[in-house]
Amino acid sequence: MFPRVVSFQTRLVIGALSAVVFASSIGCGKDEITPEDRLRAQAVVRHGVQLAEEGELDSAAIVLEKALRYDSSNAEALYRLGMVYEYLLRPADAETAYRRALRNDSSMAVVHFNLGQICGRSERYDEAVEHFEAALRTDTTRQLRALSHYCVGLTHGIQGNFARATDAYADARREDTLVRTGVRGRGTGVRADGEIRGGGARPQTGDRAGLIPHGGVQPPCDHVPDAQPHG
């Protein structure tokens, strides 16, 4: 689980320090990747994840970028790097990393989920639904499936598709009854039982889920600027 307690000021500083490194290194990789390169990359990724878990996000970003210099096709490195950049409040860079991860491994359900959140926050709702549904097609984990259904419902609610939103919330509760807690009071127009009233389902800015690390128990995606990634 990645750390959640990182001050806004710290994330801004880290983002500024790592911007040049990210821009210059994420696209770089060796033309011929040997088995030894792949093993080195895997070891470096583990180190990067450890640094991220310890809250050393600037160092984690640099280390994960180093992994990509050994193996530019390492989807795990790209996924973890995308998460780090979301924590650093750099959604455009995170989206680039996530899309590259999917080009190398389209079965990464959690990457689809995180991209869905990014698309939702930038009001690309149709694409958001596509990614949440892709997560549902590629994942059998009860929690992530429940969160994906929930986010499909939230997105449809924002768009005014209340019947489809209600169906998606029901699917989420069938996957995990704890989702009822996430639905309760999660935004204008959502009743505690998940039904949609005519007012719609756009979340209120004062009711935010925060970052949702993979395996976490936070309520799922609110399409607001500081909603955070799953991973």
Whether 120 contacts 128, CB under 8 Å: yes
d(CA 218, CA 179): 10
Domains in the chain, number? 2
Same domain, 115 and 222: yes
Residues 78 and 190 in one domain: no
Q: Are residues 110 and 49 in the same domain?
A: no
Predicted pLDDT of residue 99:
97
Q: Is residue 95 in a domain?
A: no
- Can you give the pLDDT at residue 19? 37
Residue 143 maps to a domain: yes
| Contact predicate 58/14, CB 8 Å | yes
Angle, helices 91-104 vs 109-121, to 10°: value is: 150
Helical residues (DSSP H) of 88-210, grouped into ranges? 91-104, 109-121, 125-138, 142-159, 162-175, 179-183
Q: What is the pLDDT of residue 14?
A: 35
Residue 101 in domain: no
**Residue 50's CB: how many other CB atoms inside 10 A?**
12
Q: Does residue 46 form part of some domain?
A: yes
Residue 160 falls inside a structural domain: yes
Same domain, 36 and 110: no
Mean pLDDT by 10 residues, the chain (231 residues): 33 36 48 91 96 94 96 96 94 96 95 95 95 93 91 93 92 80 41 38 31 34 47 65
Q: Where residue 140 sits, what CATH number does that domain have?
A: 1.25.40.10
Question: DSSP string spanning 64-89?
Answer: HHHHHHH-TT-HHHHHHHHHHHHHTT
User: Please, how many CA atoms are within 13 Å of residue 229, restricted to the half-sphere of its CB?
Assistant: 29
Burial class (CB in 10 A: 0-12, 13-18, 19+), 126: exposed
204 belongs to a structural domain: yes
pLDDT at 225: 33
Single residue among 90, 121, 149 that ends a domain in this structure: 90
Domain of 129?
106-231
pTM over 0.85: no
The DSSP code for 196 is B
